[in-house]
Amino acid sequence: MAQACAELSSAVSNTEAAGPIPYRPAERWFARGLAKYDQAASECQAGASSQDATAMQRAATDFSEGNADVARADKTIKALSGA
């Protein structure tokens, strides 16, 4: 589990390094989602290494919130194309 959490953290860093989405309303939600994923990865790594169920639950909540924010970014982008 700790390895998967570390991979999530790495994926967040790689995505952030790619630069912002060029449409500010979508970028706002996407950046917020990435921040939640990063927070989830940290909580997950801590929870996995210490076998702390509360930290793992916080990680799951943060991950869920990140998913919602990324979905908002996706919806914003799709609205541009009329999809």
Match 């943060």 to its residue by tokens: 62
CA distance linking residue 83 with residue 78, whole number of Å: 5
Instruction: Tell me the whole-structure pTM to 2 decimals.
Output: 0.91
Total structural domains within the chain: 1
Per-residue pLDDT of the chain (83 residues; tens, 9 = 90+): 888 889 999 999 999 999 999 999 999 999 999 999 999 999 999 999 999 999 999 999 999 999 999 999 999 999 988 76
Q: What residue ranges in the chain does DSSP mark as E strands?
A: none
The distance from CA 46 to its chain's CA centroid, rounded to whole angstroms, is 17
Residue 27's domain comprises 2-81
